[in-house]
Structure 1
């Protein structure tokens, strides 16, 4: 039985549209160009940040991030960035007595912005706040500490095989791969992903069914 559900953030709870659009505007390139490059790195199994390096070789991403913040063009996150199924799905699983944790590779600012949305979750935390990021096994050790349940009673939900499904499975957690966003769609039918994921889902509204299976 699933006692705790832990969810990734980008392209699991929130759309990355605004994130990539803002980077394209900051770098002065057409939004479609950056979007296409993100797709290209996804199909190669590379980190999304490689798309920025293709546009601007040698880019210092943390320095650019700081410059954007200083210019008032930094991270933004509000209700419009949430997928429509987020609130009803998380509410439904909590009503079933399941603990809900949100933990993904995000900045400290993103953590504050997420908590400001008052989501139906028991804990919201980011990799920057923990000081360790996926797919590092130490991240999933922190997940299990926060879970309050055994690994086989903890379900990690995400769209990214390399950051979510594979390392969560290696840590002994149950896993659900979400067909959402570039990573989720491109890798959904990969045999290794299918084998590693306990469940393959197309909506967070599948989660209440999973926790009562």
Structure 2
């Protein structure tokens, strides 16, 4: 039985457009340049921060992030960043008796921004707040502890095989891969994803019939 639905954040619940566009503007390069480089480095298995280093060799992403915050050009989220199916899907899951957790690789500030959106979730947490990030097994151990149910009663929903589907499966959770955003579309029909994901969905509303199963 699935008693808890846990969700990745970027390109699962919210669009990443604004985040990377703001980095492009800060670095004074075309937005398409950043988007294309992020796609390229992630597709070849590198951390997305490598895209910033390609644009500006020697950049310290953490220091640059802090500089943006101090300049008033830091992280921002509002309702326009949230995918249209998020509120109806999460609300329906809770109405069906399931617990909803949002937990992804985001900063401490992003956690506060997500909570300010008042999404229909029982818990919202980020890797910055937990001090551990995906794909570390410790991230999923923390998630299971927070859910307070056996791992196989949790369905983790995400778009990225290496950060979401494969480590969640290895931790004993059930998984759902969403065909959404660049990574979700890129790997939707990958044999590894097909084998590892318990469910492959095109919309979060596809999860509603799974509540209680």
TM interval, shorter chain, is over 0.9
On the 8 A contact 2:3/2:212 being kept in 1, the answer is: no
- What secondary structure does 2:46 align onto? coil
Aligned to 1:138: 138
What does 1:75-86 align with in structure 2 at a 5 Å threshold? Answer: 75-86=75-86
Cα deviations across residues 124-179 of structure 1 (Å, max 9, x unaligned)? 01111111111110000000001121111100000111110010000000000111
Which residue number corresponds to residue 157 of structure 1?
157
Shift of 1:26: 0.1
Detail structure 1 runs of 4+ shifted over 6 Å in the superposition. Answer: none
Determine the C-alpha separation between the residues in 2 that align with 1:203 and 1:94. Answer: 17
Helix, strand or coil at the partner of 1:102: strand
User: How far apart in 1 are the matches of 2:47 and 2:197?
Assistant: 20
Unaligned runs of 5+ in 2: none
Structure 2 residue aligned with 1:168: 168
Write the distance in 2 (CA, Å) between the matches of 1:118 and 1:21.
24
Please name the residue that 1:4 is paired with. Answer: 4
Query: How far off its partner does 1:57 sit?
Result: 1.7
- 8 Å CA contact 2:135–2:164 kept in 1: the answer is yes
Change (3 A) 1:145 1:172: same
Unaligned ranges ≥5, structure 1? none
Cα shift readout 1:51-75 (whole Å, capped 9, x = no counterpart):
1111112210000000000000000
* Cα separation, 1, equivalents of 2:45 and 2:190: 12
Indicate yes or no: 2:61 matched with 1:61.
Answer: yes
State how far apart, in whole Å, the 1-side matches of 2:25 and 2:147 are: 39
| 1:20-51 superposed Cα distances (whole Å, 9 cap, x missing partner) | 10000000000111111122123213222121
**Segment drifting more, 160-169 vs 44-53:** 44-53
TM-score normalised by the chain length of structure 1: 0.98
Distance 2:49 2:27 in 1: 13
- Counterpart in the other structure of 2:185: 185
Q: How many residues align?
A: 213
Partner of 1:48: 48
Counterpart of 1:202? 202
Matching residue of 2:87: 87
The question of whether the paired residues in 2 share the 8 Å contact of 1:42 and 1:182 is answered with: no
Cα shift at 1:212: 4.8
- Normalized against structure 2, the TM-score is what? 0.98
Number of the residue aligned with 2:37 = 37
In 2, Cα distance between the equivalents of 1:34 and 1:96?
41
